[in-house]
A and B are shown apart, each in its own frame.
Chain A
Amino acid sequence: KAGVTQTPRYLIKTRGQQVTLSCSPISGHRSVSWYQQTPGQGLQFLFEYFSETQRNKGNFPGRFSGRQFSNSRSEMNVSTLELGDSALYLCASSSYRGNEQFFGPGTRLTVL
């Protein structure tokens, strides 16, 4: 069974731009969560989607948004990028809400 895939793996953007990251969950998994990881803050929860609906949201500004499609694939978007948005963005999927999460390799975003 293929694992969670994230694209792209690496991304370089400049301040003010916007970016879209993609996550394909494990086949059959319906819950997708997004996390931001920085050296100083550890893993910070962004949001969780289940059945195309956002179920939980972390404490991030409205510049961070996401969505989930009918095939459970998910995208997250960050608008008006800031230097502090540089981080590893991780996607995790689970078969159902509350079940064990399986993480993807992450997308390394660098904002210059």
Chain B
Amino acid sequence: KNQVEQSPQSLIILEGKNCTLQCNYTVSPFSNLRWYKQDTGRGPVSLTIMTFSENTKSNGRYTATLDADTKQSSLHITASQLSDSASYICVVSAEYGNKLVFGAGTILRVKS
């Protein structure tokens, strides 16, 4: 069964600190993995997208890693800001892009 599991479910960190969000998947055949950021009441916005052959990709203070062997991905946020408070969703594309499997998301709250 295709599944994407994210951890932790929620996280509270202090402004300026780093954090890492996890995504484990059992999706086959794997096409790509995307991380989205969703602010409350808004649509998700893409942060990174990685294919099978890529093991790291950065977008500013966001760095995603992918281990296709262990089927794990992480999203590392450096020097967090209050505006990073959002839900982060891991999405794995299967069946040559014709099927998307969504994780439940990690809710991040950055406190001052």
Contact = CB atoms under 8 A, between A and B. Distances in A.
A70 interface: no
B105 A90 contact: no
A109 B49 CA distance: 30
Contacts of A33: 100
Contacts of A56: 98-99
Interface size range of chain B in the complex: 20 to 34
A62 interface: no
A42 B41 contact: no
Contact of B102 (A4, A43, A105): A43
B45 interface: yes
B46 A108 contact: no
Contact of B105 (A42, A99, A100): A42
Interface of A: 4, 33, 42-45, 55-56, 88, 90, 92, 97-106, 108
Interface of B: 31, 34, 36, 41-46, 49, 89, 93, 96-100, 102-105
25 contacts: A42-B89, A42-B103, A42-B104, A42-B105, A43-B44, A43-B89, A43-B102, A44-B102, A45-B100, A55-B98, A56-B98, A97-B97, A98-B31, A98-B98, A100-B34, A101-B46, A103-B36, A103-B43, A103-B44, A103-B45, A105-B42, A105-B43, A106-B41, A106-B43, A108-B41
